[in-house]
Structure 1
Amino acid sequence: MGIAIAGLTSDARVLSTYMRGEAMRSRMVFNRALPVQRIAASLGDKAQVNTQRYGRRPYGVGLLIAGFDEAGPHLYEVAPSGNYFDYYAISIGARSQSAKTYLEKYFEAFADTSLDELIVHGLRALRDTLQQDKELNATNCSIGFVGKDEKWTVVEGDGLQRFLDMLNADAPAAGGGDAAAADDTAPMETDA
């Protein structure tokens, strides 16, 4: 199980420490790994309490929790409000809407793709969120993945270059979106 954050890192540290404690408690008491849905629900409850109590502020961080358990793969978004949602693919943070649009467009194909192709899809979605003067490279991104019989793995730096080369081999320029999608759209009608 792993997390990605958008927001205040100090709040993320508090919540990740809480997650570690819950995971250790589950291992010690029940002798099994904590189900991903249970930790998402527990974090949601913890975050929601802060929205009700006097003198407490809501956590200023959104979390993506990726994990694999007996029920299969999971990706949860936990919001500062305490809401949590299960997704096939999602992005959070500043400028994430273009990544969400990309992921919504292609998510049905994800079940039949290899891990390398899934990573390239994730990088394409991430690249769509960049400002036009920025370029996706090994110093400004990292990849995390988990799966059946595979522990949480983070790829950074030089290990990431192989995936960036795959991305750059067949993809349009940053901020350009999907060129094929632009050709399929009908022209807008305007009033003269």
Structure 2
Amino acid sequence: MFRNNYDNDSVTFSPQGRIFQVEYAAEAVKQGSVVVGIASKTHAVLVAIKRNAEELSSYQKKLFPIDEHTGIAIAGLTSDARVLSNFMKQQCLGHRLTYGRNMPIRNLVEQIGSKAQNNTQHYGKRPYGVGLLIAGVDNTGPHLFEFQPSGMTEEMQAFAIGARSQMARTYLERHLDAFQDSSREELITHGLRALKESLVQDRELTVDNTSVGVVGFIKEGEASYKVDPFKVYDGQEVSVFLEKVSDSAEGGAAPAAGGEAEGEGMEVDS
């Protein structure tokens, strides 16, 4: 980990132009369990694998509602995610009190991007060790954004972050053309299939370790819309979605990919 004293803080560049503290924060995201997000013309979906630190502990939450029109999925340090989620809730509430309407998703994402990037400019602060997928709707439709510890944000049609997320992204790339016109149920099914691709051979999606979050958008006129509020499905509520994935697998869908085990070296989002 020693980088000739260039990794002691987040405000010192190495001679190669790198900030090692930001890179270490990105590694914390890679240690977290995988989360997948997909957006269509009418809905945005987040699905996640939950971990438990040990057999006696409960599964930690991976999906957090922010406002009625948006929610997040996390990969990395849960404590840092709570700080950012509370900040996002305050921004949404302040915007609603000031303007009487939901905060545009892009504005919200830019706020947390600036907050995170500010930590790389001041000595004594550190980057947030968490990556986010932000799903939401506004008057322009559904949106999915990725947030990185460096403060960089980018809009996506479909994406996955966390351990072994490359396998989930490969699935998403193969089916990218189908997402825009997919229904709510089809989006959830695609998300769970992508999640399944990232699992090791001896693990399965269950009602205990799987979470699903959905937010929708219904156009009511040229400039008006109705929000299908962000809802998180946990426990037995997920079973109906898992049955559809299981049925499609029996019908000939690609089996879950095997390979090396997930990185468990750092106790992150569990």
Whether TM exceeds 0.5 here: the answer is: yes
Match runs of 1:12-161 below 5 Å = 12-148=81-217, 149-161=227-239
Percent identity of equivalent pairs = 51
Distance in 1, Cα, partners of 2:141 & 2:190: 21
Distance in 1, Cα, partners of 2:99 & 2:240: 41
Distance in 1, Cα, partners of 2:209 & 2:114: 33
- What SS is found at the alignment partner of 2:159? coil
Q: Which amino acid aligns with 1:53?
A: H
Distance in 2, Cα, partners of 1:91 & 1:145: 16
Partner of 2:256: 174
Distance in 2, Cα, partners of 1:124 & 1:100: 11
Distance in 2, Cα, partners of 1:27 & 1:166: 38
Q: Which amino acid aligns with 2:215?
A: V
Higher relative contact order structure (alpha carbons within 8 Å, sequence separation ≥ 6): 2
Distance in 2, Cα, partners of 1:29 & 1:112: 35
- Normalising by structure 2, we get a TM-score of 0.64
Structure 1 segments (4+ residues) deviating >6 Å: none
Structure 2: which 5+ residue stretches go unaligned? Answer: 1-69, 218-226, 259-270
**Aligned-pair distance for 1:22?**
0.4
Task: After superposing the two structures, state which structure 1 stretch, 67-76 or 100-109, moved more.
Answer: 100-109
**Alignment RMSD, CA only?**
1.0
Higher helix share: 1
Could you report, residue by residue, the CA deviation over 1:2-59 in whole angstroms, capped at 9, with x for unpaired residues? Answer: 0000011111010011001100110111111110000111110100011121111100
Pick aligned residue for 1:11 from 80, 94, 104: 80
Structure 1: which 5+ residue stretches go unaligned? Answer: 177-192
- Normalising by structure 1, we get a TM-score of 0.89
Q: 2:75 touches 2:130 (CA, 8 Å); kept in 1?
A: yes
Could you report, residue by residue, the CA deviation over 1:60-93 in whole angstroms, capped at 9, with x for unpaired residues? Answer: 0011110000011000011000000000111111
Count how many residue pairs are aligned between Structure 1 and Structure 2: 176
Q: Which amino acid aligns with 1:12?
A: A
